[in-house]
Amino acid sequence: MTRFTKLHATGNDFLVTRAPLTAAQVSAACERHRGIGADGVIILGDAEPANGADATMLLRNADGVTAEMSGNGIRCLAWVARRDGLGTEDRLVVDTGGGRRTVELDVDPTTGDVRHATVDMGPVTFDPPAIPITAASPFELEAEFHGVTYRGDAAGMGNPHLVLFVDDPDAARVTQHGPHLERDDRFPNRTNVEFVALTAVDELTVRTWERGVGETLSCGTGACAAAAVAHRRGLVGTDIVVHELGGDLRVELTGETIRLGGGVTHVFDVDWAVP
């Protein structure tokens, strides 16, 4: 039996475990009809004491493929790490596939559980090789599918994003066009795709097609990429509320880094016989 802790951050749900799993086992666990059900699995590990981190994070999307980083996922990991006694009461340092991240914790004084977390997500990059994208420039990209032409920019948040501006995200054909846009030939590692609109002063509405998962209720790195692209275009300031299907995230653009904040909810713990 393998112990999993299921959590969600604005509806983006993850299974956190300490057990090493194969890609096929991850897919089985994430399957919503025959498994536990989740957008991805996060394997929590102990960091080497001398390297300055409190924990390590290995993220695999629902298709079993390893991903670099998840802003919502690392907040879910922080809940489990805090319960396991890692880090301090208000801070956790995590080594991820996208680099080292520091998480500030808001702990419920009555239960000791993390109820809100803010992550230093690091800087956004518009450097094509770093995203990565094979186009000479990440800006003013066009993508066409089934007669619809999308326009936007590529951005890197430790993982690749294609941020597309649309009139109305609610009407966007996310589930129909997302699978095609994810595999745009210009993105050698595939890409996450955001369908974005400015809906109020310093407020964005975003729907995300996540690489290897499908449409999710929320995407932390996607919210950061959308905010950074919108800020570069002069559409928003430096403190942005991002409305996602699963709830609201706060993105702060502070100097050379981006901060992402939102709630964390523990769903259940389960022992499951991994196929």
Q: What is the pTM of this model?
A: 0.91
Q: pLDDT at position 50, please? A: 76
Distance CA 204, CA 11 (A): 18
- Residue 267 · residue 256 · CB < 8 Å: no
Q: pLDDT at position 5, please? A: 98
Q: pLDDT at position 145, please? A: 87
Q: pLDDT at position 48, please? A: 83
- Residue 75 · residue 119 · CB < 8 Å: yes
Q: pLDDT at position 187, please? A: 98
Domains of the chain: 2-120+261-272 (3.10.310.10), 128-255 (3.10.310.10)
pLDDT per position as a tens digit, 124-183: 999 999 999 999 999 999 998 888 999 999 999 999 999 999 999 999 999 999 999 999
Q: pLDDT at position 208, please? A: 97
Which single residue is written with the structure tokens 């559409």?
235
Distance CA 166, CA 143 (A): 12
Instruction: Please report which helix (H) or strand (E) contains residue 208, including its range.
Output: strand 203-210
What is the CB-side half-sphere exposure of residue 265 using CA atoms within 13 A? 9
Burial status of residue 226 (CB atoms within 10 A of its CB: 0-12, 13-18, 19 or more)? buried
Of all residues in the chain, the percent with pLDDT exceeding 90 is: 95
Distance CA 40, CA 212 (A): 9
What are 197's strand-pairing partners? 205
What letter represents residue 18's amino acid? R
Distance CA 262, CA 132 (A): 27
What are 46's strand-pairing partners? 55
Q: For the chain, list residues with pLDDT below 50.
A: none
The CB density around residue 57, as the number of other CB atoms within 10 Å, is 25
The CB density around residue 190, as the number of other CB atoms within 10 Å, is 17
Q: pLDDT at position 255, please? A: 84
Three-point CA angle 33, 59, 81, nearest 5°:
100
Distance CA 128, CA 272 (A): 42
Q: pLDDT at position 132, please? A: 97
Distance CA 217, CA 40 (A): 13
Q: pLDDT at position 49, please? A: 75
